[in-house]
Structure 1
Amino acid sequence: MAITAGPSARAEQTNELSFQNRTLEMHLLQENLARAHMQERLHEAEDQRLALTAQRVARLRRKAERASLRARKALASAVL
């Protein structure tokens, strides 16, 4: 004798699947939010690194220009 599931059993299964889907969606939503947050932090860190590199390059360029000017002045005074 086979036991068949009635409409109430199917409704329970449907409710359970619906609950599991909502739970999974909420879990995935939290993961997506965390992933987006980490991506934003990585972009901020990269932007900050690039800004520091640009500052360092500008500082070294100014230093090189001053050294070049000193060298030209020293050469000009040695020639005279």
Structure 2
Amino acid sequence: MPMATPLQVSCPQCRQPTLYGPDNPWRPFCSARCRGLDLGAWASESYRVPASGSSDTGSSDTGGSGDAAGEPPATGDGTRH
């Protein structure tokens, strides 16, 4: 069976053309540097999936009625979540 030619794709980090195949150990990235930059972005939570259908518009980072010990604010029925 003939060997398939590797697919040429754009590196997700720098957009340079790179080969997506077994000869590229960093696929789909073009280099270890781009792969590491992408991993760092995931680790620092730079990539976020937007929430949909959430009725909670507040965030624990913005304060609220939680106590000083870091407890979440009480809900309408007096319980904590």
Give me the TM-score of the superposition, normalised by structure 2.
0.24
Asked which structure has the greater RCO (Cα within 8 Å, sep 6+), the reply is: 2
Give me the TM-score of the superposition, normalised by structure 1.
0.24
Structure (1 or 2) with the larger CA radius of gyration: 1
